[in-house]
Chain A
C-alpha cells in the first residue's frame, strides 16, 4: 500500500531534477518575506507578518521569528506548520548539544544538523520535503556573528545579507547594491532592512503591524537578543519615509539646476 506513494516524492526526474524539492521552493516563494543582514556590531532578522487579521487574538509575540537557544535566533518563510516542526527540532538539537558538551552549540553545527534532517526527506521515507526556508542568526566563539540560510533541499550557506520568501530575488539584488561589507553598522542595517522590505511588500504601505524585527548583539560576554517593539519599528519606518521624501525632493530639484 505504501509503495503507491513511495515512488513519487524522492526520485529523480529524467532531467536529473528533484521535482518535490523544487515545488517546495515554489511554495516558499509565495510566502511572507524574511531577510537577514550581518553588521559589524551585530545581526538582524526582519520579516513580513502576513497574519494581520484584526480578529486574531494577540497570543504570540512573534509570528516568524523564533529563539533557538541563548545565542541563536531564526526566521522562517513558507508553510507555518512545517516551520513549527523544524524549529522545535532545532531547539532539541541545540539542547542535546548543551547537555552533552556543557556549552552552546556552534552556529554552523546547528544548521548543518538540521539540514541533514531536511536532506533525509528528499531521499528516503516516501515523505514530502519541508516547505520551509530558514534564516539563522547567531554568535559563537569560533566565528563570531554569523548568518545562514537553509532551504528544503537541505542545502545551506553562510551569508552577509540575504532574503527568502516573496520577492526575495529583488530583495537580494537590492541588498547586493546597498550592503557594504565591514562598513554597515547595526543601525544602518536596520534602516536598510526597512528599505528593502518596503520594496518586497509590493504596493502595500509599511506599517509596524506588518513588520517584525529582531537583533542579536554581544554585551559583557553574553548574547543579547531583542525583538523590537512596535514603537521602535514605527520610528524606523518614519525615518525611512522621511529619507524617501527627501530623496524625491532632491530629485525634483536636480534637473532645474
Chain B
C-alpha cells in the first residue's frame, strides 16, 4: 500500500523567495527506515524541488529532471527559468502517466526568476501543474492548508514564512496520527538555494 499521503510537503512564496518544507521520514509499511531523508532536491542554481511518493520513483524522477535541466544549462550556457522547468517536469509526468510505468509522485517546485521574481509550482501524480502563492501535499498538508490560508499575506519576509511553516509542523505533530518528527526546510532566492534549520520537536518548543 502506498504511503504517499502519509508524507508531507509544504511550500510558501514570499516577497523575494520561495520556502519549501518536507518531512524526513522514510517508511516501508509499518517500519520507519530513516528519519533524516532529504526530499528536497536542488535542480539548478535558483530552483529547488520537493518530491514525495513511492520510494524509488521519487529519486529516479527527481534526478532525471535535475540532470536534464543541467544538460540544458551545459548546452546553452543559460539556465531554464522556473516556469519552463515546471512545464518540462509536468510534460514528463503527463507522458509517463499513460504509459505502463507512471511516476507516482507529488511535487512542489520553487524557483527564483530574475524577471518575474519568486514562483511556486504545485504538481501532482496526475500531471496537473499550477502556480500558487502557497501549497501543501499529503494528509499533513490538509491540516496545514487552513493554517496557511489564515496566516498568509503578500510580501512575507523569510522569518514570517518560516514561522508559518513552524505553526504548520506543530499542527502536524499535534493532530496527525502518523509520526513525522523532522521537517527539512529549504529557501530559494536571488542568491540561490539555501538550507534552513530543521524543524523538529526540540526546535518547536
B76: chain A residues within 8 A (beta carbon): 106, 108-109
Q: Is the CB of A103 within 8 A of B91?
A: no
- In whole angstroms, what is the CA distance A106 to B88 when docked? 15
A102: chain B residues within 8 A (beta carbon): 83-84, 86-87
B83: chain A residues within 8 A (beta carbon): 102-103
- Choose from A100, A106, A141, A142 the contact partner of B87 (Cβ within 8 Å): A100
Is B115 at the interface (CB under 8 A from chain A)?
A: yes
**Minimal Cβ-Cβ distance residue in A for B114:** A141
Among A76-124, those with CB < 8 Å from B are 99-103, 106, 108-109
- In whole angstroms, what is the CA distance A99 to B84 when docked? 10
Q: Is the CB of B78 within 8 A of A100?
A: no
Is B167 at the interface (CB under 8 A from chain A)?
A: no
- In whole angstroms, what is the CA distance A241 to B204 when docked? 82
Chain B, residues 71-102, CB within 8 Å of chain A (1/0): the string is 00000101011011011100100000000000
A109: chain B residues within 8 A (beta carbon): 76
A99: chain B residues within 8 A (beta carbon): 91
**Taking A106-B76, A109-B76, A142-B78 as contacts, is the C-beta distance between A101 and B115 under 8 angstroms?**
no
User: How distant is B71 from chain A, measured CB to nearest CB, in Å?
Assistant: 13
B78: chain A residues within 8 A (beta carbon): 106, 142
Among A36-59, those with CB < 8 Å from B are none
B81: chain A residues within 8 A (beta carbon): 103
**Taking A106-B76, A142-B78 as contacts, is the C-beta distance between A100 and B115 under 8 angstroms?**
no
Number of B residues contacting the other chain (C-beta, 8 Å)? Answer: 11
User: How distant is A97 from chain B, measured CB to nearest CB, in Å?
Assistant: 10
- Choose from A101, A108, A141, A142 the contact partner of B88 (Cβ within 8 Å): A101
B80: chain A residues within 8 A (beta carbon): 101
Chain B, residues 30-49, CB within 8 Å of chain A (1/0): the string is 00000000000000000000
**Minimal Cβ-Cβ distance residue in A for B95:** A100
A106: chain B residues within 8 A (beta carbon): 76, 78
- In whole angstroms, what is the CA distance A141 to B113 when docked? 12
User: How distant is A144 from chain B, measured CB to nearest CB, in Å?
Assistant: 13
**Minimal Cβ-Cβ distance residue in B for A98:** B87
**Minimal Cβ-Cβ distance residue in A for B75:** A109
B91: chain A residues within 8 A (beta carbon): 99-100
- In whole angstroms, what is the CA distance A103 to B86 when docked? 11
**Minimal Cβ-Cβ distance residue in A for B86:** A102
User: How distant is A119 from chain B, measured CB to nearest CB, in Å?
Assistant: 16
User: How distant is B65 from chain A, measured CB to nearest CB, in Å?
Assistant: 12
A100: chain B residues within 8 A (beta carbon): 87-88, 91
- In whole angstroms, what is the CA distance A209 to B84 when docked? 43
B86: chain A residues within 8 A (beta carbon): 102
**Minimal Cβ-Cβ distance residue in B for A101:** B84
Chain B, residues 143-164, CB within 8 Å of chain A (1/0): the string is 0000000000000000000000
B115: chain A residues within 8 A (beta carbon): 141
- In whole angstroms, what is the CA distance A142 to B80 when docked? 11
- In whole angstroms, what is the CA distance A103 to B83 when docked? 9
A141: chain B residues within 8 A (beta carbon): 115
User: How distant is A96 from chain B, measured CB to nearest CB, in Å?
Assistant: 11
B87: chain A residues within 8 A (beta carbon): 100-103
B84: chain A residues within 8 A (beta carbon): 101-103
Chain B, residues 52-85, CB within 8 Å of chain A (1/0): the string is 0000000000000000000000001010110110
User: How distant is B73 from chain A, measured CB to nearest CB, in Å?
Assistant: 12
Interface on B for A, CB 8 Å cutoff?
Answer: 76, 78, 80-81, 83-84, 86-88, 91, 115
In order of increasing CB-CB distance, the 3 nearest A-B pairs are A102-B87, A101-B84, A101-B87
Q: 12 A-B contacts, Cβ less than 8 Å apart? A: A100-B87, A100-B91, A101-B80, A101-B87, A101-B88, A102-B83, A102-B86, A102-B87, A103-B87, A106-B76, A108-B76, A142-B78
Interface on A for B, CB 8 Å cutoff?
Answer: 99-103, 106, 108-109, 141-142
Q: A106-B78, A109-B76 provided; 4 other pairs, C-beta below 8 A?
A: A101-B80, A101-B84, A102-B83, A142-B78
